[in-house]
Amino acid sequence: MSDNPHEMKRLKTGAFERRFSLAKAGFIASARMASGAAGSMFASPGEREEKRRRMMAEQAQYLVREMGKLKGSVVKIGQMMALYGEHFLPPEITSALHQLNDDTSTLAWSSLEPVVRAQLGEKRFSELDINPEPLGAASLAQVHRARRRSDGADLVLKIQYPGVAQAIDTDLNLVTQLLRLTKAVPQSREFEEWLDEVRMMMHREVNYPQEMETTRLFYSYLKNDVRYAVPRIYTDYCTDTVLCMSFERGVPINSPIVLGLSQDRRNRIAEAALDICCREVFEWGEIQTDPNFGNYLVRLADKEGETDRIVLLDFGAVRDFPDDLLELARKLSRAAFYKDRDGMLAAMTGFTFFDNMSASTKDGIIDLFFLAIEPFSDLKDAPPETLNAKGEYCWAKSRLHVRAATMAAKSATSRSFSVPPKEFMFISRKFMGAYTFMTVIDAQIIARKILEPYLQPGSHK
């Protein structure tokens, strides 16, 4: 029997108890907001706005704490809203939502074992020795290491928490109602479409048959590339709520071990990370949209001269994109790469998102693309402090992800700025995640050689 103090016997997945918990929290928060507003009736407009924002921040923090207690899909929904909701939600709310984490709580094996046994059936269940202590836990599932008795194969089982898939729609409605009580979310078609996209992403996260096929697809893409490792799927032990894969050893990207590697080894890891991003956008059209570092490990080479490998772990957030938007991303990247402002404007034409913008707002977007492409440029216009003695681009010194985020926020304040297509936001987040990756491991490379081959006519499928 486990003595883990953070272990739970079950998740609250019942609609009534979750609705009651969130409704109670929402009532308390809205009452506090109303009380705060009444107390500032006679203050100046500036003081009222400052107090309103402070009160919103305080109540957002309170609501997030209450959401975190429920775990399950509520936490994952909040995380997605934090990641993709900056165009819809006030910064006070997204800032609070960013604090949602998967915590260290796990579900007791005594609660999971009957579920796994029923899913696999007695025969297949008996073929495995499953470690009752989880290897890791998240908001929707936890992972257990296992060994197949017949051949000693080292496996992992990703086990979905009971009831979370069925709770997604209810939880999303509850969280949305909760946010609406703050009177801070827009009543617009774009917001409703965005909520529908969050709903679709959540259902994709719990669709294990689809994740199984996506994992197999990426395995086929990368099986002959020594720079990467993708788990093998063991279909005999996969069900709608259990995903069985080979155990892949490695250490976290941001671990002291990786950060302590020589500059040359870290550079090669960085180049591999950028290359797979390019292949996803320009070659496959299948993009891992979750930039979480937890989706990657590094398998250090056993011998001098061998290749360190990036281990790709989670394919639940992989999605394919419409051809027109992929082609737009490719054209914009190509024009930015060659500093072709007219080419950028031509690529934008015909897309409502861009057509509704003023000329000055479009210029701001183009400047943002030119900034984003900076590491891949000829570096002639790069700030001097971003280059080392060899003329290589130093990501950590560049603060590029911060500069790009600041410029993007400024562009979004324009009156003619319209909310970009959701797929465009995913691609943007993808590369912001990659840029953060480069910064964390202090990559110092010439990235132009990585991107340029993908920008040639006919270079993608």
Per-residue model confidence as pLDDT tens digits over 260-269 = 999 999 999 9
439 and 295 within one domain: yes
pLDDT tens figures, 190-236: 778 778 888 888 899 999 999 999 999 999 999 999 999 999 999 99
The C-alpha angle with vertex 306 and arms to 281 and 441, in degrees rounded to 5, equals 55
**Within-domain flag for 441:** yes
The Cα-based distances of 397 to 7, 269, 273 in angstroms read: 42, 18, 19
Query: Please, which residues bridge with residue 452 across strands?
Result: none
272 and 179 within one domain: no
Q: Which has the higher per-residue pLDDT, 79 or 36?
A: 79
**Within-domain flag for 326:** yes
- Residue 86 clears pLDDT 50, i.e. is over it: yes
Q: What pLDDT shows up at residue 15?
A: 52
Alpha helices in 40-71 (DSSP H): 45-70
Least confident of 35-44, 289-298, 330-339: 35-44
Max avg pLDDT among 59-63, 93-97, 148-152: 148-152
Least confident of 91-95, 179-183, 351-355: 179-183
Max avg pLDDT among 28-37, 44-53, 296-305, 347-356: 296-305
Q: What pLDDT shows up at residue 18?
A: 59
Quick one: pLDDT band at residue 120, thresholds 50, 70, 90?
A: very high
CA distance 328 to 344: 10
- Residue 85 clears pLDDT 90, i.e. is over it: no
Q: Which has the higher per-residue pLDDT, 60 or 91?
A: 91
325 and 454 within one domain: yes
**Within-domain flag for 393:** yes
Alpha helices in 4-108 (DSSP H): 15-39, 45-70, 72-84, 91-97
Q: What pLDDT shows up at residue 174?
A: 79
- Residue 250 clears pLDDT 60, i.e. is over it: yes
Sign of CA dihedral 285, 291, 295, 297: positive
Quick one: pLDDT band at residue 461, thresholds 50, 70, 90?
A: very low
175 and 292 within one domain: no
Q: What pLDDT shows up at residue 51?
A: 67
Q: What pLDDT shows up at residue 194?
A: 77
Quick one: pLDDT band at residue 48, thresholds 50, 70, 90?
A: low
Of 72, 356, 302, give the one whose Cα is nearest residue 190: 356
411 and 276 within one domain: yes
Q: What contacts 457, CB < 8 A, 6 or more positions away?
A: none
CA distance 218 to 230: 7
Tokens of 42: 């006679």
Q: Which residue has the tokens 């090669």?
A: 268
Split into its structural domains, the chain has a count of 2
DSSP conformation class of 451: H
Least confident of 43-47, 50-54, 123-127: 43-47
As a whole-number percent, the residues of the chain with pLDDT over 90 amount to: 43
178 and 254 within one domain: no
Q: What pLDDT shows up at residue 23?
A: 60
**Within-domain flag for 138:** no
Alpha helices in 206-262 (DSSP H): 208-222, 256-259
Q: Which domain holds residue 72?
A: 7-101+166-183
pLDDT tens figures, 436-458: 899 999 999 999 999 999 987 66
283 and 177 within one domain: no
- The pLDDT of 391-412, averaged and rounded, is 83
Q: Which residue has the tokens 């989670």?
A: 314
Least confident of 41-55, 172-186, 215-229: 41-55
Q: What pLDDT shows up at residue 16?
A: 52
Q: What contacts 390, CB < 8 A, 6 or more positions away?
A: 444
Least confident of 11-15, 74-78, 99-103, 134-138: 11-15
Tokens of 419: 């909310």
359 and 282 within one domain: yes
**Within-domain flag for 147:** no
274 and 172 within one domain: no
The count of C-alpha atoms lying within 13 angstroms of the C-alpha of 422, restricted to the half-sphere facing its C-beta, is 23
As a whole-number percent, the residues of the chain with pLDDT over 70 amount to: 78
**Within-domain flag for 236:** no
Counting DSSP H helices and E strands in the chain, the numbers are: 19, 15
Q: Which residue has the tokens 């579900």?
A: 107
Q: What pLDDT shows up at residue 402?
A: 81
Q: Strand ranges (DSSP E) for 282-423? A: 286-288, 296-299, 309-312, 318-320, 393-394
Q: What pLDDT shows up at residue 3?
A: 52
327 and 451 within one domain: yes
Q: What pLDDT shows up at residue 35?
A: 57
- Is there a contact between 296 and 314 (Cβ–Cβ < 8 Å)? no
Quick one: pLDDT band at residue 1, thresholds 50, 70, 90?
A: very low
Q: Which residue has the tokens 């697809």?
A: 217
CA distance 150 to 147: 9
CA distance 81 to 195: 9
Query: Taking the model in full, what pTM does it have?
Result: 0.82
Query: Please, which residues bridge with residue 155 across strands?
Result: 146, 246
Quick one: pLDDT band at residue 47, thresholds 50, 70, 90?
A: low
The per-residue pLDDT of the chain, averaged, comes to: 83
**Within-domain flag for 110:** no
- Is there a contact between 323 and 251 (Cβ–Cβ < 8 Å)? no
- The pLDDT of 403-417, averaged and rounded, is 69
Q: What does the longest C-alpha to C-alpha distance in the chain come to? A: 77
**Within-domain flag for 66:** yes
CB atoms near residue 265 (< 10 Å): 17
Q: Phi and psi at residue 241, in whole multiples of 5°? A: -125, 10
373 and 292 within one domain: yes
Give the residue from 125, 155, 183 where a domain finishes: 183
The Cα-based distances of 54 to 44, 61, 72 in angstroms read: 15, 11, 29
Q: What pLDDT shows up at residue 125?
A: 98
Q: What pLDDT shows up at residue 422?
A: 66
Least confident of 262-271, 273-282, 308-317, 350-359: 350-359
Q: What pLDDT shows up at residue 397?
A: 93
322 and 178 within one domain: no
CA distance 27 to 24: 5
CA distance 40 to 443: 50
Q: What is the gyration radius of the CA atoms in the chain, in angstroms?
A: 24
- The pLDDT of 102-126, averaged and rounded, is 89
